[in-house]
Amino acid sequence: MRRAILFLEDGFWLEGESFTIRGETIGEVVFNTSMSGYEEILTDPSYRGQIVCMSYPLIGNYGISGSDIESRRVQVEGFIVRENSQIYSNFQAKKSLSDYLRQNKILALEHIDTRALVRHLRLKGLLKGIISTEDFNFNSLRNKLAKAPSIVGRDLVRLVSCRQVHEWREDWPQLKFERKHTVAVIDCGIKHSILRFLKSYFEKVVVFPYESELKDVLRINPQAILFSNGPGDPQAVEPAIELAGKIISGLRQGSLKLAVMGICLGHQILGLALGGKSRKLKFGHHGGNHPVKDLATGKIDITAQNHNFIVDTQDLSDKDVVQTHINLYDNTPEGLRHRRLPLFSVQFHPEAGPGPFDAQYIFSGFRKMTDKIFAK
């Protein structure tokens, strides 16, 4: 154990101990309300640029299995828990949480008053923070934070998107559906569990870098396109917004025939391409317990969420774009669809890794939309 400090840009600080490595790390500090699923959270590309605090007090008690990772590496900038379990028990576990973070060179704190930190972030909003085992001088820490870039206006997707086009072949063995069609995935920070669900419904899943040109995507003759989740400010992801705009234009003109879906950041990208405006939430949505209402049916799903920004579509000039879902915690928009075009998106995570399974029907809805287009 090594003495460590968490210092926020507004001067709030807490002292704890590092249970992994020495050093410093800087990021936007967010809290996650899930009681489990730390393996998925740590490897979710949507957390790039952020230090994650788990609000549940005991973390690490089932170890690391390796089967629940959501990307090729640990993505968080730092990790904060109230207590790191010294004992882990799980028949799938291969190593402890502390060993996993240490091997991936992630600075992680425990013995922090996480209740105080979560309350502060809820009152003040998200703040940049620094974790250090080397520097305990407040003026020095404040200067380091002042020089660190904000997430706003920063394209973090370039750090997590794939570099080359590739086909995804792994599915969920327990899901047995007839697989048809080819879906192109625009990788803004795609999670492995989303790809597994897509492969369970589609015959071929091909993943493209977010900077891909439309002509390159169309070369595989896709029947569907999905814009994935990812980190940071959607307004900064200009290549994906431009690509989405060209696809929407092709659908309107009738030169393209395919289904389009967006998840989380992908939802925001489609909303911006349709003319919506993005804004940052005070402390974001991070957790596996967000109630979302389907405005068409009145059904309420408990959903997994991970985003700091939303897109307002109410003032769009295109009145064929309608809001489909709403978050019952704060009444923020959670989904949209187009009345005339085969296009829809959701702000929440239907793959729910980690989280509840309520919204997994979204994937079958995407497949049914694709079937309907090509049944004609």
Separation CA 367–CA 223 (nearest Å): 10
Amino acid identity, position 211: E
Query: Does residue 319 register a pLDDT over 90?
Result: no
Query: What's the pLDDT tens digit per position in 326-339?
Result: 999 999 999 999 99
pLDDT category, 248, cuts 50, 70, 90?
very high
- 322: Cβ–Cβ under 8 A, 6 or more apart, which residues? 336, 337, 338, 339
Quote the mean pLDDT of the chain.
Answer: 96
Which contiguous run of DSSP H or E holds residue 273?
helix 265-273
Helix (H, G, I), strand (E, B) or coil at 192: helix
pLDDT category, 103, cuts 50, 70, 90?
very high
pLDDT category, 317, cuts 50, 70, 90?
confident
Query: Does residue 182 register a pLDDT over 70?
Result: yes
Q: Please provide the DSSP assignment of 313-365 as one string.
A: -TT-S-TTEEEEEEETTT--EEEEEESSSSEEEESSBTT-SSS-STTTHHHHH
Separation CA 351–CA 195 (nearest Å): 9
Domain map (residue ranges) of the chain: 2-147, 157-374
Separation CA 202–CA 183 (nearest Å): 7
pLDDT, position 137: 98
**pLDDT (average), residues 226-250:** 98
pLDDT, position 312: 87
**pLDDT (average), residues 238-244:** 98
Which of 339, 334, 337 has the alpha carbon at shortest distance from 359?
334
φ, ψ dihedrals at 114, nearest 5°: -70, -25
User: Are 232 and 49 contacting, i.e. CB atoms less than 8 angstroms apart?
Assistant: yes
pLDDT, position 19: 97
User: Are 255 and 37 contacting, i.e. CB atoms less than 8 angstroms apart?
Assistant: no
157-374 CATH fold: Rossmann fold (3.40.50)
Least confident of 158-162, 191-195, 230-234, 317-321: 317-321
Query: Does residue 274 register a pLDDT over 80?
Result: yes
Cα separation values, 351 from 171, 284, 304, Å: 12, 19, 8
User: Are 2 and 18 contacting, i.e. CB atoms less than 8 angstroms apart?
Assistant: yes
Amino acid identity, position 314: Q
Which of 18, 61, 15 has the alpha carbon at shortest distance from 39?
61
Cα separation values, 41 from 68, 193, 328, 358, Å: 10, 12, 23, 19
Query: What's the pLDDT tens digit per position in 8-50?
Result: 999 999 999 999 999 999 999 999 999 999 999 999 999 999 9
Query: What's the pLDDT tens digit per position in 149-181?
Result: 999 999 999 999 999 999 999 999 888 899 999
**pLDDT (average), residues 194-201:** 97
Query: Does residue 123 register a pLDDT over 70?
Result: yes
pLDDT, position 176: 87
Separation CA 267–CA 227 (nearest Å): 7
CATH architecture classification, 2-147: 3-Layer(bba) Sandwich (3.50)
Separation CA 13–CA 84 (nearest Å): 20
pLDDT, position 6: 98
Helix (H, G, I), strand (E, B) or coil at 375: coil
More confident residue, 321 or 174: 321
Q: Please provide the DSSP assignment of 274-303 as one string.
A: TT-EEEEEEEEEEEEEEEEEETTT--EEEE
The catalytic residues are: 264, 349, 351
Cα-to-chain-centroid distance, residue 297: 26
User: Are 193 and 154 contacting, i.e. CB atoms less than 8 angstroms apart?
Assistant: no
pLDDT, position 342: 98
φ, ψ dihedrals at 339, nearest 5°: -70, -35
Sheet architecture: strand order including 277-294: 166-168, 202-209, 180-187, 224-227, 259-263, 343-346, 333-338, 321-327, 277-294, 300-312
Look up residue 302 and give its two tokens.
């408990």
pLDDT, position 376: 61
Neighbours of 47 (CB within 10 A): 28
